[in-house]
Copies of this chain bind each other. A is one copy, B any other.
Amino acid sequence: MIRKKVKLAYITNGSSRKATYKKRNKGLMKKMSELSTLCGIDACVIMYSPYKSQPEVWPSPKGVQQVLSKFKMIPKMEQRNNMVNQESFLSQRTIKVVEQLKKHCKDNREKEMTQVMFNNICNKWVIHGLNFGDINDLNLLLDEKMSNIDKRMDAFAMTSLYTQEASSSLSSSMVALPPMTMVMPKAMPRTYHNHFP
């Protein structure tokens, strides 16, 4: 009955993993409320486990929505910027690259927006009026595209931070890329900045 020191790795045994999850999840939620009451802070947790169909949240679905609405208002750009700064990753060399990246990212976003505008969802809006399902569809579509771009940006940022080759090829402002998976409307010119290796 001598208790081992926890080995910090995935617990392969299913039942003890579940037991651990339940205990620690409970402990975590408790700590969360303690911190919240002791220091009066505004926070939320969302946890997906295979043991429940719905995510487990703290403090409540409504509370999560409130914190989330605050969080969503911060543009992604600022988040990225802040994250990068905080971790002190930017050398003098890479600052320029990141600036370019931002500019191209912004341009790409605007172009994406315009494209989405010309997709049939938009036509539906105009002709039949905006409904709930369509808003949802658009949201999902945008999220997907954004996350694609983010993935590509991150992949690129990693490369450019650690290899000379990528940085120098970026400075020529255009890098060959596999085509984006987006459906292109026929009428729209395609002038994305492709700078992800």
A residues contacting B by CB (< 8 A) are 6, 8-11, 17, 20-21, 24-25, 27-28, 31-32, 34-35, 37-50, 54-55, 60-62, 64-76, 79-80, 82-83, 86, 106, 109-110, 113-114, 116-117, 122, 125-126, 129-132, 135-136, 139-140, 142-143, 147, 150, 154
Which of chain B's residues have a CB closer than 8 A to the CB of A38?
Answer: 6, 8-11, 17, 20-21, 24
Which of chain B's residues have a CB closer than 8 A to the CB of A25?
Answer: 35
Q: Is the CB of A74 within 8 A of B54?
A: yes
Among B6, B60, B70, the residue within 8 A (CB) of A83 is: B60
CA distance A101 to B164 in the complex (A): 60
CA distance A129 to B66 in the complex (A): 31
The distance from the CB of A105 to the nearest CB of chain B, in whole angstroms, is 11
